[in-house]
Structure formats: structure tokens, C-alpha cells
Chain A
């Protein structure tokens, strides 16, 4: 499973970087989004994939059931998703502004 997810992350990075080198702003933004998601998959994979219990203490139990999944990568990804989402929304608005100001969707017109 690690191998498949590593390949997925790699493909997301490659596609993202390729799109970032394109000329259109929308493609650039999609590229950014892909890289963000590739990073999330990478954190998830490198944190270790285990098919185990959730890291939550069940009711009427003194502690979590061993073995349990590492909660830290999940927390990191959750934070990264929120930040990435906000930033993506912001850059979409900015691209819209560039389009309105320069009348084109071309990076050359925008850099």
C-alpha cells in the first residue's frame, strides 16, 4: 500500500509542477492544488500506514486499544488541508483580479 501511495504522491507532485510551468493562470492554480494534495498524501504515507484501531479512547475503557494509529500525521494533514484550502481560495480570487486587470489568463501578461 505504501508503494501505491508513494507513486500517487509522486504523480501528484509531477503533475502539479508541470502545470505550474504552464502559461495559464488557472493551470498554475490547479498545479498548486495538486502539489498541496500530493504533500498531504506524502505526510499520510510517511507517517506509516497501519490498519489498526482509531487513536480515541473508547467508552468504558481506561485507555486506547493497542495498537492504535498515530494521530499526529492526521492532525498535521488536517491543518495542512485547511491552510491549503484557504490559500487556494485566495489565489483563485487573485487570478480573477489579474484577469480583470489585464484581460488575459496568460502568465506572460501577468508576470
Chain B
């Protein structure tokens, strides 16, 4: 029962919010819904860490026939992260969303989005994963397109087209997979392939899945939709996209490649390493060329996705653990920075570098609070990004992939440069003469402070967190307990 709550709670809240015409009540409703989802996520996480992998057969239909919800350590960590991001965003939305969007259904749509993301993290069935992707995407399409300025609608169109193409690839892969194996339950597939060997077309299937999830995760050859669209919607929308949507692609890659495509030739994993490396280099170097706070963030988001998929290429326990730690750190830090971008939007009516500057003088506390996620993302010790990067670089050296370690280090250096530039342009340099002096409204600052504290918490609790992600990595790399938990007779 606990397994289905992180999906049901936002769905229920979305339905309730659709019936409530008062925006003020909607804000509180959305916030309560997100908090409740966070609570369910934490309870689920506790249950998983106490009792192991949790399985729920929806409607009582047994595993290969019905839809199965499964929560292992990785899923439960990510569901908690969804709750955290949802809570922060709904708190930010008390002040950070324009009235037109709010009356256009921002709050219920956000709930639907959270439902889709949690569903994608919890499902154990590939077709169900596709359905959750669509739930998530349709909600994000509408959120993206709620506005009518030309730039925003254009960006929305690009976003919609590429994501639909990715969904078609995923569906194509599912069709071929079903034709080859006769089931779409991941545990069942994993068991059958382990026993009878993988089907004939498993290499093309692996490539189709890599492409479909690579588009969603914004990996190298497919990432161009992300920087073109993520800087246009207001912070309360782009922050949740940046924090969660790409991570769903990354999560699905880990799930599919560790459960199903274990027998693919090793060059596929080398290919994933190369893709990660190129993503990192291209993303972060492009960020250096940008002159807009939110565009710099978008390109950094792309660049840092490379760190989260590196582990999948190396496929050693410590590398996967490092990448998962990076995912957790990255969700918190990047969401926080997009919210900071929202403050800039409110104070200076834009986030181009010409409009920024001088915030350190006028808002010292806010500046210090924003400095922490900036430098955490850059990977300055002892903040959270540093720990994850150290683990990853050590893992690459241990696995003998020195070139990848070198790329990760070089990109780390470049991202320090890019983040220092953000700090300098946003806070340090003298303000533009016509800078607006409006005060930030406290609901916008509270979630930023909370997320910063969480970032610091990740840095302080890096060791236990690494143990946790190591456990998650173990479960990914040895899928037998997962398969057994799903397929066992009652």
C-alpha cells in the first residue's frame, strides 16, 4: 500500500485542486500535497531500508501479467528527492508564479507532474514506464506552453517535438521487445534472458533504449532541446524540470541497462562512457560562452548529466555509487540554482548578465545562501559536488579508464570557472545603474535556504549517503534479489 501512495497522493491532490477555483487555496493545497508525498516517500524509504525491496502487484494480478510497482533503494531515494523538490517548488510558488499561470492550472499540473515522475521511479513494467513518461511529459508540455510570448511558445514547440520523438523511439523499442520476449515486466525479462540468453535483436534494442532515454536525459548528440527551452519558463517551472525530468531519463537508463542489457558487447558501455565524456565537455564549455544566468545553468545541467551516466559506462560498484550520489547532489543543487534564477527574474526582470550584479551589497544573506549551491555544483571542497566527483574520479582510475577520469577532472575545473563567473556576474560585480530595488518576497527565499541547508547536509553526511548509494549500486549490479522479490509466489 505504501508503494502506491507517492503516486496516489499527488493524483488525488491534482483532482481536488482542479475543483477549487481560489488560487490562494490551491497554493496551500499543492504545498500540503507535496509535503504529504514527501512524507510517503520518507516512509517508503524507511520501509525499504528496513525490510528490503518492496513489491506491489496492482489489482492482485501476479507479476508477469499485471503491473508491478517495485521500490528498491535507488527508487526510494529518488522518490524522496521528488518529494523534496516538490515541497521546495510549491513553497516557492507562493510568490514566484505569475497570476495568469496560476489561474491556468499551474498547481494541479505540477501535482500531475510529480505523480508522473514518482510513477516512473516506482514501476517495474516497461510499458507502464512509457505511460508514466507520457503523464509526466503531457503535464510538462502544458506547463511549458501556458504562456504566450513568442519565445516561450517556440521553445515549448521544440521541447514537445523532441520529447515526442523520444517517446516514439521508446514505444518502438517496447514493440520489438514484446515481439522478441513476450513480456514487458522488467524482472521477468531479466530472469528469462538470464536463463535462455538474450534474444536476437537485443543489440538494436539496447541502442533504441539508449536513444530514447538519452534524449530525455539530454545526453550529447540529443541535448539541444534542453538549453533551447529550459530558460524560457519562470523559475517555479524550470526548476522542477531541471531537477527531476532529466533524472528520470538517467534512472531509466540505469534500470534498463543493469536489468536487461547485461550481455551486450562491451563496446556499448564504452560508447556510454564516450557519450558521457562528450556531454560533459560540450555542456560545460558551451556554458562558458553564455551571457545569461539561466542559460549558463541549462548548459551546466547538460554538462553535469555526464557525471551521472559515467557510472553506467564503467559499471563497477563504486562508480555506480558515485554517480548515484552525484544524482542526489545534483537534484538538490540545480533545483536550488534555478530558484535563485527566479529571484533574479523578480528583482531585475531578467537574468542576462547585463542586468545582474550587486546583489552581494544589497542582499548579503541571500547571496551567501546562493553561494553554497553555486560552489556545490562547481565541486569546491567540502561541498556535496566535491565528494561525488572524488568518488567518481577514483572509480575511473580504479577501473583503468584514465582518459575518463582526466575528462571528469578537466570538466570539473571548467565548471568551477563557469560557476565562479555566475557568482561574479550575479552577486559580486557592481550593479547595473538602473537595477531594481524591489525586495525579494520571503516565500521565495525560504525554499532556497532550505535546499541550501540540505546541500550542506549532503556534504556533512557524505559518508553514510555514499554507503546508501553503494547499497543501491549493489542492488543494481546484482539484480537477482530484485527479480526474486518480483517473481516470488505469495
Contacts and interface: CB of A to CB of B under 8 A. Distances in A.
Contacts of B414: none
B228 interface: yes
Contacts of B168: 32, 35-36, 39
A102 B145 CA distance: 15
B157 A95 contact: yes
Given A87-B138, A90-B141, A46 B157 contact: no
B161 A46 contact: no
B153 A91 contact: no
Contacts of A48: 179
Nearest to A111: B158
A91 B228 contact: no
Interface string A59-74: 0000000000010110
Contacts of B150: 101-102
Contact of B179 (A36, A46, A102): A46
A28 B161 CA distance: 8
Contact of A86 (B138, B154, B158): B138
Interface residues of B, number: 32
A42 B182 CA distance: 15
Interface stretch (B169-177, B257-265, B320-328, B382-390): B169-177
Contacts of A32: 161, 164-165, 168
A43 interface: yes
B154 A110 contact: yes
Interface in A17-48: 20, 25, 28, 32, 35-36, 39, 42-43, 45-48
Interface string B95-119: 0000000000000000000000000
B134 A97 contact: no
Contact of B148 (A80, A95, A101): A101
Contacts of B157: 25, 91, 94-95, 98, 110-111
B153 A97 contact: yes
A43 B171 contact: yes
A97 B174 CA distance: 33
B248 interface: no
A7 interface: no
Nearest to A72: B178
B339 to A, nearest CB: 27
A28 B158 CA distance: 11
Contacts of A52: none
A39 B130 CA distance: 13
A56 interface: no
A94 B156 contact: yes
A98 B462 CA distance: 47
A76 interface: yes
B160 interface: yes
A32 B171 CA distance: 13
Contacts of A20: 161, 165
B164 A97 contact: no
B160 A91 contact: yes
A45 to B, nearest CB: 8
A46 B148 contact: no
B165 A43 contact: no
Given A46-B176, A46-B180, 17 more contacts: A32-B161, A32-B164, A36-B168, A39-B171, A42-B172, A43-B175, A47-B175, A47-B178, A70-B182, A76-B178, A83-B131, A87-B138, A97-B145, A101-B150, A109-B154, A110-B158, A111-B158
Query: 3 tightest A-B contacts by CB?
Result: A46-B179, A43-B175, A101-B150
29 contacts: A20-B161, A20-B165, A25-B157, A28-B161, A39-B175, A43-B175, A46-B175, A47-B179, A48-B179, A73-B175, A73-B178, A76-B174, A76-B178, A87-B137, A87-B141, A90-B138, A91-B160, A94-B141, A94-B157, A94-B160, A97-B148, A97-B153, A98-B157, A101-B149, A102-B150, A110-B153, A110-B158, A111-B154, A111-B158
